[in-house]
Amino acid sequence: MEDREGRRTRTPKAEACCDELSDHQKIWIAQGDRRGTATETNIVQRQAALSIGVDQYFWLFSGSLRRSARRRSNLTAAPRPSAVLAGMDPNTIALWFAGFQALRLFARSSRSSQHSMGWTAVSAFVLLTGAVGWLRFRELAGYVTFGLTVLLIMLPGWAHGVSARALRRSQYVRAYRFSRVAALLHPFDGWRQLPRLFRAFELAQSGNTAEAETLLAELSRGDGSVAETARAHRLRILERWEEIKTLAERAGASALSRDPSLFALYLRALGELEESERLAEFMLSQEATLLAGEVLEPAFLYLFVYTGHVELARQVLTAASPRYDEETRDAWLSLASLHAGNFEQARQGFTRLHRSQSAVIRESAKRHLGILAQENSYQPPTARTAHIVTHFARVFANRQNLILNRPVRHSERRVTFSLVLLNALIYAWGSYPLLLTATSEDFGGRWAFFAPDILSGDWWRMFSYMFVHANWLHLVMNLLGLWALGPFVERAFGRVRFGLIYLLSGFTGSVVYLCLAWYRVGEPQALVGASGCIMGLLGATAAVMLRAWLKQRAPMAKQILLRLLVVVALQVTFDYNTPQVAGLAHALGLLGGFVAGLLLHEGVSARRSVQALA
């Protein structure tokens, strides 16, 4: 309390406490009076400290010490966490996300050797819409651009990707259905003809070979990529492998690199014509094209099947996503057994497939049973071919370890799933009054990182802020990043180390921001969100790829590392131009995850032996 002249005085209770103290204790209290800190509460606490000991007193006096530190550094003038939560603008985040997707597509389609003028125009339209919107209707520009990106880029791209993967696995019904969706959303670049092409494949698979051949003959009239693909697949349905080989060799290696479908058919034609040595040599000469293109998975399968490596073929079939159906998988394994000299095992497999529902598989099984009925002799691959197979087996194993979105079992992403669920539940709890649209101010003010409150005793904010998100878009963006990077880091480091990297990445930002506030460097900031943790996972992934590149010189590791650097550059640009985002926390999380990834042991970059070759 203060007297009329503004001087601090003691209350009667404080005077009574002082009377019970010894002379040297009163001197200690008087020193506090001169500093202006000897309030009633402090005197009582100091008296208690002298009676119960220094260790126990620490917990009583630390609160007043931290409050005094906060007064000295003027931290109370900083913005409250609720103000920062209100400043998180979903419109800006949506605009940056949409712009990044459109810019990446524009760069890829503009330099593509294939006909991609449609994608170039679509991505340019989205970028132009975002730029005009930012100048004319800024408050809605992000939402409009995001909606266009989803409708014109993400949905057709997703549908086309599903269709392409189904095509490579002979799932023609699935390919036909999704190609119709893709053609409806993107009727350019020859996509309008793709449903008819896949419909022909479906007819041939069901046994309507004549009708399929007629449809393919109609599609082959022209000069586009669809016409070239239709001509090649018409020969595949008729099993004219020699003509496919001639067609591909006449087109040349450069044309094959631009047409993944013809490339894959040429590799299969070499295998069907018993030219496994030439198949291996051609794959080795075109390794760079294979690693950069879409034909690598079927190329692995054809090489391992037609050289008789059953176990390697099984690994390729198991790693495929989506997986091959059971009959298709059995057909390839039976063919691999035939080329491995296991004639009895091949005969049993083709006998089962002779009753398949697919007309193509039935005819193939009938033809190979006829071959097995004749007298056969096994000729093992040459030493040169065996060496090439060993090389590609290692390439396959290393790529499987480095694939970020490789299909994983539920047990391999258990911690990732738990973190996603925990973040979603906490957001639902904190945003309940606002119907899940945004986190309430009371909830954010209690759990967000805020240095003044931490110095006042709210130590839990050092960790709790990692699970608080400003609004639904903030949550979705972070959960997408967690779901994209989490399974790979969890598989690489294990569950415990993965959780440690996640928490340490966020805690790194907490410690640095707290130190900056304590030493009065800049204005204290309120932090919310798991962005620092996600950036830490990005840093840990970069550490794995860097170690894999240094140890193995794996081209895939270098490619992924360069892509991660582009993502970091875009994130830095976004942070610099968005004042609501704590860019320093992102950088600290990235650095913490990268250092942790270098220090902790992981099993991805280590060269693993291929057991199937033993």
Please, are residues 408 and 49 in contact by the beta-carbon 8 Å criterion?
Answer: no
pLDDT at 217: 87
Q: Are 68 and 124 contained in the same domain? A: no
Give me the residue label for tokens 């070499």: 270
What 8-state DSSP symbol labels residue 450?
E
In a domain, 97, yes or no: yes
- Supply the range of the domain harboring residue 109: 90-186
Question: Please, where are the H alpha helices in 528-603?
Answer: 531-552, 555-577, 583-599
Please, are residues 505 and 491 in contact by the beta-carbon 8 Å criterion?
Answer: no
Q: Are 173 and 97 contained in the same domain? A: yes
Q: Are 591 and 503 contained in the same domain? A: yes
- Distance separating alpha carbons of residues 451 and 78, to the nearest angstrom: 9
Longest CA span, the chain: 117
Please, are residues 260 and 285 in contact by the beta-carbon 8 Å criterion?
Answer: no
pLDDT at 14: 45
Number of domains in the chain: 3
pLDDT at 150: 94
Q: Name the residue with higher pLDDT: 23 or 355.
A: 355
Rounded to 5 degrees, φ, ψ at 75 are: -75, -15
- Distance separating alpha carbons of residues 271 and 307, to the nearest angstrom: 8
Fill in the amino acid letter for 3: D
In a domain, 33, yes or no: yes
* Residues pairing with 8 in the sheet: 2
pLDDT at 357: 82
Q: Are 526 and 429 contained in the same domain? A: yes
- Distance separating alpha carbons of residues 431 and 440, to the nearest angstrom: 5
User: Given 3-state DSSP classes, what are the helix, strand and coil percentages for the chain, each rounded to the nearest 5?
Assistant: 75, 0, 20
In a domain, 358, yes or no: no
In a domain, 123, yes or no: yes
147-168 mean pLDDT: 89
pLDDT at 51: 36
Q: Are 474 and 542 contained in the same domain? A: yes
User: pLDDT tens across 70-127, in order?
Assistant: 433 333 344 555 544 544 567 887 888 888 889 888 888 877 655 578 899 999 999 9
Q: Are 428 and 558 contained in the same domain? A: yes
Please, are residues 340 and 356 in contact by the beta-carbon 8 Å criterion?
Answer: no
Mean pLDDT of the chain: 80
480-485 mean pLDDT: 91
Using the 3D structure, point to which of 186, 207, 233 is the last residue of a domain. Answer: 186
pLDDT at 335: 94
Q: What is the pTM of this model?
A: 0.69
pLDDT at 17: 46
In a domain, 471, yes or no: yes
Q: Does 612 score more than 70 pLDDT?
A: no
Give me the residue label for tokens 């942070």: 575
- Distance separating alpha carbons of residues 327 and 238, to the nearest angstrom: 21
Q: Name the residue with higher pLDDT: 318 or 311.
A: 311
Q: Does 36 score more than 50 pLDDT?
A: no
Buried b or exposed e, range 74-95, using 16+ CB within 10 angstroms: ebeebebbbebbbebbbbbbbb
pLDDT at 611: 45
**Residue closest to 369 by CA, chosen among 381, 353, 393, 356:** 353
Two tokens at 524?
Answer: 């204290």
pLDDT at 407: 62
Continuous segment of H or E residues that includes residue 215: helix 209-219
pLDDT at 112: 65
User: pLDDT tens across 497-535, in order?
Assistant: 999 999 999 999 889 988 988 888 877 778 888 999 999
Q: Does 58 score more than 50 pLDDT?
A: no
pLDDT at 399: 83
Confidence of residue 55 (pLDDT cuts 50, 70, 90): very low
In a domain, 268, yes or no: no
Q: Does 550 score more than 90 pLDDT?
A: no
Inter-helix orientation angle 172-185/194-205, to 10°: 170
- Distance separating alpha carbons of residues 569 and 561, to the nearest angstrom: 12
Q: Name the residue with higher pLDDT: 296 or 294.
A: 296
Give me the residue label for tokens 């000299």: 341
Q: Are 121 and 65 contained in the same domain? A: no
User: pLDDT tens across 369-392, in order?
Assistant: 888 888 777 788 899 999 999 999
Q: Are 516 and 589 contained in the same domain? A: yes
pLDDT at 125: 95
Q: Does 321 score more than 80 pLDDT?
A: no
β 526-527/449-450 pair status: antiparallel
Q: Are 119 and 34 contained in the same domain? A: no
pLDDT at 45: 41
- Distance separating alpha carbons of residues 193 and 158, to the nearest angstrom: 18
Give yes or no for a cis peptide into 322 (omega within 30° of 0).
yes
- Distance separating alpha carbons of residues 517 and 511, to the nearest angstrom: 10
